[in-house]
Amino acid sequence: MIYNELGKTGMRLSNLGFGASSLGGVFHDIREAEGIEAVHTAVDNGINFIDVSPYYGHYKAETVLGKALKEIDRNKYYLSTKVGRYGENGVNMWDYSAKRVTDSVYESMKRLNIDYHDVEFADLNQVVDETLPALVKLREQGIVKHVGITDLQPENLKWVIEHVPAGTVESVLCFCHYSLNDEMLLDYLDFFEANNVGVINASPFSMGLLSQRGAPAWHPAPEPLKDACKRAADYCTEKNYPIEKLAVQYSTSNPRIATTLFSSANPKNVLKNIDFVNEPMDEQLVKDVQEIIGDQMRVRWANT
């Protein structure tokens, strides 16, 4: 496992990180014991960064993760969670007020069985003059160690950083923009580095586009992009090199990006992805796959 610096936070993160959304049954139902084992497997095999949110499974992911973390030495991992988006009884809710943000941090700590967070992310469209100042106050109190933001759109992350005092944002999390079919995040690395902001990537499989079974029915990508990724996956299969392997290797290969999050509640899949990143990447196959994807590179989907 390779470990990279996250901006100026002093944290060295494994280049493959564990996204705990699967523990909330976000993609399909899980067996809780298996999900807990998946967390242990990740940490035991060198993954030291775990990301979660109260929104995942409407608090379920944090609850299951908390059970797993009770049995793991706190010095073995860094933990991030989010604020602003929640869910009750199947209904999504958003609240970025200072009070709700502060309450949310303490609620997450209780579910996670911890006494501090390493990184705290404010979700989409955060209010720069209320949400982030509340998190900075918690940082000053030592409740959270570092403050970061997350968004699908890298331009939104840039805008927030430009509109808050220097040092407010220490890290960003962006997803689906550093993968085999979309490396838009590269356009923003100079800006983030100039502002001492560390970068976290997520969704190396582009929410299922880069997989042998193909994109799920709910995937918002346009059909030409889905078709291009399927052709790329079929080509990798012909080469006896699963596109999942190439996808996770590519997304974790840039040292300017501290870590890339994947999510699985299956211990076997966790080990498989760890094995992938510890093997050398086929550089020529990357070029071949991106040529197959062709003019669908960087194509965005609806509502993005």
- What positions carry a catalytic annotation? 56
- Angle (nearest 5°) at CA 254 between 248 and 259: 65
Residue 217 sits at the vertex; the CA angle it makes with 185 and 53, to the nearest 5 degrees, is: 55
Residue 80, H or E segment: strand 78-83
Evaluate whether 81 touches 120 at the Cβ level (below 8 Å): yes
Report the C-alpha gap between 61 and 87 in whole angstroms.
12
Give the length of the chain: 304
Task: List C-alpha distances in Å: 51 to 112, 194, 251, 280.
Answer: 12, 25, 17, 26
Strand 16-19 with 3-5, pairing: unpaired
Read off the DSSP letter of residue 57.
Answer: T
For 150, half-sphere exposure in the C-beta direction (CA atoms, 13 angstrom radius) is: 22
Alpha-carbon span 230 to 213, nearest angstrom: 9
Q: Shortest CA distance to 244 belongs to which of 224, 202, 272, 217?
A: 272
CB neighbour list of residue 217: distance below 8 Å, 6 or more residues apart? none
- Chain centroid, CA 24 distance in Å: 15
Q: How many CB atoms lie within 10 A of CB 205?
A: 21
Instruction: Please give the Cα distance from 26 to 21 (Å, whole number).
Output: 6
Q: How many Cβ atoms sit within 10 Å of the Cβ of residue 239?
A: 15
